[in-house]
Structure 1
Amino acid sequence: MPKHIPLFSLLVIFGLLSVQTPASGQALLPYTLQLDSEKLEQQGLNLVQDAVQLVRFQQYELALPKAELAIQLAPDIYQTWFILGTLYVQNQELDKGIAALKKARSLAPDEAVILFNLGSAHLKKEDYQAAVTDLSAGLKLQSEVPEALFALFDLGNAYYMLKDFDKAVSAYDKAVAKEKDFWPAINNIGLVKYEQGDVTGAIDKWQAAIAVDQEAAEPKLAVAVALYGQGELEKAISMGEAAILLDSRYADLEFLKENLWGERLISATQKFLENPKIQDALAKSQQTPITVEVAPE
């Protein structure tokens, strides 16, 4: 599965928006202006709530303009910056997203979810050290919230890309300790072990991931590649065919690299994919069924 877990939980967003609208500062301004300010802030929060509703239906293009307008109406409320930054990152506008999330953090430095999303954004931008810094800081603030599971997974991925394999496995292990059926973390421990030369240990982890989810194509293909390298050709080809039929994207080396497959595993996979039987399975997976319309008599 893709290694970038969705950036935010809708439940978290609804929780962030359940707060009371902050009162305007005790100013020497006329009372009517203070009321106007409060109304604008409330309108900003309402727009953010509308954006969240659109996100629930994956209407990101419609949600983004609402979030941008919310910033203009309520620039001093961290929730508006948080949602805007998250939507920018979702839209692959990483620099804008990071800037907005940093603004949210400046307004609410103790909100771990902001740091989790910042870390995820840095991971997408391939700034792995920054990802480690933000994710670790967020986990220090709140390690028991549900979102910490995904933060640990992202942290493991960042350490993995930094080739700090021991810390990567430690983060993945902590994620599995929180959720024993979280197979992506189990799978990624296998990726680490394979790059370290522990093929048997890698296979054990991938088989454990398959035991959790029989429809997971990634660990099936990884086991097939490892077995192929050990000479177990028949079993390897059978598993490889099954994996490709489940999700043919895993026959794309670039897609595998995006999913953090390392150099050793990519090299072994390239040889495996050259097998004629695997090529046949790939061709079958890419065939589009043809619908024949019969004209009425």
Structure 2
Amino acid sequence: MLKQTFSLLLLLGVWVGSRPAQAQALLPYTLPLDAEQLQADGLSLAQDAAQLAQFQQYDEALARAQLAVQLAPTNPQVLALLGSLYLQVSEPQPAAAIAALEQAKQLEPDNALVHFALGSAYFSETEYLRAARSLEAGLRIEPNNPGALFDLGNAYYKLNRYDQAIDQYQAAVEQDESFWPAVNNIGLVLFERGNADGAIAQWRASLQLAEGEAEPQLAIAAALYSQGGQTEEAIRLATEALERDSRYANLEFLQEQLWGERLLGATEALFTAPAVQDLLSQL
């Protein structure tokens, strides 16, 4: 990465002449600071950062956003962009994201997107109650945002507020009928509540919305295997899912996707099947 550096003296417009000889009464001259130009430069850098983020060049985008905040430290949109990027870089920094986003919220409390981003940051720090409160605040301003409704459902799910979680997932689907992750997560909640048949129905519905997705297919396989009677079908579904996306062979990754203890236990049992073990050894 090309590391860009700026001279502080040049940045502030300070003219530095040659050192005067002794006995000269020459006073230094400081050019006036052009605050509007600094703001404009900061916004330009922020736009560059946003464009880089669109191409998932998050680390490069973060570097520009950090410079942008130095030039425009009281611009809430620039602070919000910086906070969001802290969550998307290769090594996320949720604490730094929260600090930037809290500043943005103070400057622009009616910006729903800032509240939504804060919710994501607090969720990353496993502060699920704060995440829920931030998302609730944003949804009071922008109530029909499907992504925020989904995120609030996840926060409620981690707080064991299962009925509220399902309500939020359903609200997300009402806003976006193709939003398969919300349908999928209703299945996660139902399985943790002991309703395996209901969970399987939700996962099948999510597959109808997003054919070929590994997560709901593996979840169906684990649930069927735990019920017994459809072992061969469970192994077939699991094999297809794992061949499609090997990340789901990792139980820690599944936990990160909000798979609960019951479903993780069922999946671990499925992974003991000889045919699945053979596949796992090759992945």
What TM-score does the superposition give when structure 2 sets the normalisation length?
Answer: 0.85
CA apart distance, 1:279: 1.4
Q: 1:179-218 maps to which residues of 2 (within 5 A)?
A: 179-218=176-215
Q: 1:186-265 maps to which residues of 2 (within 5 A)?
A: 186-231=183-228, 232-265=230-263
1:176-218 Cα offsets, whole Å, 9 max, x none, are 1111111111010001000101111001001101111121101
CA apart distance, 1:57: 2.0
Identify the residue that residue 100 of structure 1 maps to in structure 2.
100
Match status 1:159 vs 2:128 = no
Match status 1:171 vs 2:168 = yes
**SS of residue in 2 equivalent to 1:90:** coil
User: What is the CA–CA distance in structure 2 between the aligned matches of 1:264 and 1:53, rounded to whole Å?
Assistant: 42
**SS of residue in 2 equivalent to 1:68:** helix
1:119-167 Cα offsets, whole Å, 9 max, x none, are 01111111000000000000000123xxx11111111111101111001
What TM-score does the superposition give when structure 1 sets the normalisation length?
Answer: 0.82
User: What is the CA–CA distance in structure 2 between the aligned matches of 1:213 and 1:155, rounded to whole Å?
Assistant: 22
**SS of residue in 2 equivalent to 1:215:** coil
Identify the residue that residue 77 of structure 1 maps to in structure 2.
75
Work out which structure has the larger RCO, using CA pairs closer than 8 Å and 6 or more positions apart in sequence: 1
User: What is the CA–CA distance in structure 2 between the aligned matches of 1:188 and 1:56, rounded to whole Å?
Assistant: 27
Identify the residue that residue 18 of structure 1 maps to in structure 2.
none
Letter paired with 1:104: A
Letter paired with 1:53: Q
Letter paired with 1:256: L
Q: How many percent identity over aligned positions? A: 48
1:83-128 Cα offsets, whole Å, 9 max, x none, are 1111112231111110000101111110000000000111111100
**SS of residue in 2 equivalent to 1:260:** coil
Larger radius of gyration: 2
CA apart distance, 1:33: 5.4
Q: 1:55-74 maps to which residues of 2 (within 5 A)?
A: 55-74=53-72
User: What is the CA–CA distance in structure 1 between the aligned matches of 2:188 and 2:56, rounded to whole Å?
Assistant: 31
**SS of residue in 2 equivalent to 1:114:** helix
User: What is the CA–CA distance in structure 1 between the aligned matches of 2:280 and 2:209, rounded to whole Å?
Assistant: 25
- The RMSD of aligned alpha carbons is 1.3
User: What is the CA–CA distance in structure 2 between the aligned matches of 1:139 and 1:108, rounded to whole Å?
Assistant: 15
CA apart distance, 1:283: 3.4
Which ranges in structure 2 are unaligned for 5 or more consecutive residues?
A: 1-30
Letter paired with 1:254: E
Which ranges in structure 1 are unaligned for 5 or more consecutive residues?
A: 1-31, 287-297
